[in-house]
Amino acid sequence: MSQLLKKAVRLALVQLASGMDKAQNLSNARARVLEAASAGANIIVLPECFNSPYGCQYFASYAETLLPSPPTVDQSSSFHALSTMAREANVYLVGGSIPELDPVSGKYYNTSLTFGPDGTLLATHRKIHLFDIDIPGKILFRESEVLSPGDQITIADFKGYGKVGIAICYDVRFPELSMIAARKGCFLLVYPGAFGLTTGAMHWKLQGQVRAMDNQLYVGMCSPARDVNAGYVAWGHSFVADAMGRVVTEAGEKEEITYADLVGEEIEEARKGIPLYQQRRFDVYMDVSTSSVRKQDLLL
């Protein structure tokens, strides 16, 4: 039996097409989650901002209040929809992300909610690194004009399987998060993300493969479906990379579900063949996983 992944698991990435109608987006997500569960998925991931269009002009108007937890249905219809989906499907559900309004500070966040098979909230991740980039002639985007950054690393225990690290989109570009999650015993990292056409073509697949290769574990990157008529056009191509950095399944551009069967022995074989964990030189450089981490890490 693998120490990291206790038994084989089927991962489903739901590449969802979302529009302006939140209720319709939630209904579509439910149908797709139930479809994935009927195909044998045990862990299901939705995309970033799955309940709304993605864009700074939408964050405030689609934001929901999550605190104090649990919120009422009026405060967060998405929270209750996700909880119900997870319970109906009897799966672990990483609910992509939704815009969140903190009622105390008045700040907005890009927040991912993860639920267990009984519908219980397991983890909350507020996007730590905000998507502020300027590539002349191609893309200018500043999430920080509306959003505030989170400050917690998120690791959840999927009982019966193992530990999963959860982050959002731009977080994938910062390897420290994945290093800490890997050294805390995660078998899988999931990144709901909405890379655009420019950065998607350059780095979407590369980033996920590198995080998998460096840490010798599975990585799932879940994108919205591509809508060329949207204000922000997502790249699509949701995929799973294995512990050697190989892409084992990949979606196209349209709405679809892509599946991967994860096996703990594949992680062990990768780490035995290329023994990075025995060869690291923490006498020369610091192990970032020994730095202080906050509340979410107490889920370990």
Domain formed by 9-278, architecture: 4-Layer Sandwich (3.60)
**What stretches of 172-247 show up as alpha helix (H) in DSSP?**
175-183, 197-199, 205-215
When pLDDT is averaged across residues 1-27 and rounded to a whole number, the result is 94
Distances from the Cα of 222 to the Cα of 74, 104, 152, 204, angstroms: 28, 31, 21, 10
191 touches 181 (CB < 8 A): no
The two tokens of residue 144 are: 């920080």
Model pTM greater than 0.85? Answer: yes
Do you find a cis peptide bond into 70, omega within 30 degrees of 0? Answer: yes
173-186 pLDDT per residue, tens: 999 999 999 999 99
For residue 115, the cross-strand partners are: 93, 121
CA distance 71 to 85: 17
pLDDT for residue 93 is more than 80: yes
| 298: confidence class by pLDDT, cuts 50, 70, 90 | very low
Q: Domain residue spans in the chain?
A: 9-278
Q: Give bridge partners of residue 261 from the DSSP assignment.
A: 10
Closest CA relative to residue 81, chosen from 127, 58, 115, 110: 115
Instruction: Give catalytic status of residue 222 as yes or no.
Output: no
CA 286, CA 268: separation in Å to the nearest integer? 24
Residue among 22, 49, 127, 143 flagged as catalytic:
127
Type of residue numbered 110: N
pLDDT score, position 296:
45
Candidate list 49, 143, 169, 222, residue with the active-site label: 169
> Is residue 7 flagged as an active site residue?
no
pLDDT at 293 > cutoff 90: no
Q: Which residue has better confidence, 231 or 235?
A: 235
Q: Is the pLDDT of residue 297 over 50?
A: no
Q: Give pLDDT, residue 2.
A: 79
Q: Is 48 a catalytic residue?
A: yes
Write out pLDDT tens, residues 133-151: 899 989 888 999 999 999 9
Q: Given the DSSP bridges, would you call strands 155-158 and 162-166 parallel, antiparallel or unpaired?
A: antiparallel
